[in-house]
Amino acid sequence: MKLVAAAVVLRSLAVPDYSSAQGRGARGGPPQTAKQIAPIDITGYWVSLITEDWRWRMLTPPKGSYPSIPLNAEGKRIANAWDPAKDEAAGEQCKAYGAANIMRLPGRLHITWENDNTLRIDTDAGTQTRIFHFGPSQPPSSEPTWQGYSVAQWEIAGGRGGVPRGGDIKVVTTHLKPGYLQKNGVPYSANTVVNEYYHTTTEPNGDQYLIIETLVDDPVYLSVPPQGVVGDDYGPFIRSTSFRKVPDASKWNPTPCSAR
């Protein structure tokens, strides 16, 4: 966890944020769209790589198993009282499929541009859809949802002085319906803010990978550190998740949410 946190900090220091220049068109021309200025291409089909936390991702952990999550006393109380039958009876089988955890679930992503300023991510796990809005926008006045409201921006680097152009997508998600950080009832609240960074890399053999750094900040159920104190015992909760690009939808397998 500390290594992931350090990676997030180092990346933010090393990659200049030119997002203030986004949307500028040629002199006298219309503003450029998010799709037009994209420094990386994350569209296509991707499959999750379960290279860590196998027992908590491939299997539903037993109640009370959450060793790496910095829960406070109330968060632990709720997690220890988890009852999947109650979630099923309430029609809330998707509590572990919300934006704060959906990318950790084993499965595939299908990423497309819904329009020139809106990126869409469909998951076959739980048959969920996430929408990333580029440009100024406000959360809707409707009820919170599992996927919440996501505002995205490009963090563009390079492209000058012979430096290759690259960058990440930064996504901030709010307006969330309360859900689970793990399928065994580890809670996050409606006050949760999810910050994500999407980055791609290509190996010498041509394999493409999508790496998502996720920071979950929840003042209700995650431990808040004393001023000036950092460590794994406190929020935000940080995870790094990897996907490998696949050529087509031949193994695409939409499945419904499961509470167990």
Q: Using H for helix, E for strand and C for coil, what is the string for 8-54?
A: HHHHHHHCCCCHHHCCCCCCCCCCCCCCCCCCCCCCEEEEEECCCCH
Q: What is the mean pLDDT of the chain?
A: 88
Residues with Cβ < 8 Å from 29, sequence gap 6 or more? none
Band the pLDDT of 10: cuts 50, 70, 90. very low
Q: Verify cis geometry, omega within 30 degrees of 0, for the bond prior to 247.
A: no
Distance CA 122, CA 124 (A): 7
- Mean local confidence (pLDDT), 79-98: 98
pLDDT digits (tens, 9 = 90+) for 104-145: 999 999 999 999 999 999 999 999 999 999 988 787 889 999
115: which strand partners?
Answer: 118
Task: Report DSSP state, residue 142.
Answer: S
Q: Look up tokens 């995205």; give the residue.
A: 152
The pLDDT assigned to 9 comes to: 40
Size (the chain), residues = 260
Q: Distance between CA atoms of 55 and 62, rounded to whole angstroms?
A: 10
pLDDT tens per residue, range 157-204: 765 555 566 789 999 999 999 999 999 999 999 999 999 999 999 999
Q: Is the pLDDT of residue 1 over 50?
A: no
pLDDT of 139: 79
How much is the pLDDT for 138?
81
CA atoms within 13 A on the CB side of 214: 21
- pLDDT over 80 at 93, yes or no: yes
CA dihedral over 55, 61, 64, 66, signed as positive or negative: positive
Residue 174 · residue 216 · CB < 8 Å? no
How far apart (Å, rounded) are the C-alpha atoms in residues 4 and 32? 33
Mean pLDDT (whole number) for 210-230: 87
pLDDT average, residue stretch 224-242: 78
Gyration radius of the chain over CA positions = 19
Cα separation, 175 vs 188, whole angstroms: 12
- Sorting pLDDT into bands at 50, 70 and 90, what band is 146? very high
Amino acid at 120: R
pLDDT of residue 163: 52
In the chain, the percentage of residues whose pLDDT exceeds 90 is 74
* pLDDT of the residue at 28: 61
Q: What is the mean pLDDT of residues 224-245?
A: 80
pLDDT at 23 over 70: no
Q: Does residue 17 register a pLDDT over 80?
A: no
* End-to-end C-alpha distance for the chain, whole angstroms: 26
- Going by C-alpha positions, the residue among 72, 107, 56 that lies closest to residue 239 is 56
DSSP for 103-122 reads GGSSSEEEEEEEETTEEEEE
Q: Is the pLDDT of residue 232 over 80?
A: no
Q: Which two tokens stand for residue 93?
A: 């089988």
pLDDT > 60? residue 3? no
Which pTM value belongs to this model?
0.86
pLDDT of residue 90 exceeding 90: yes
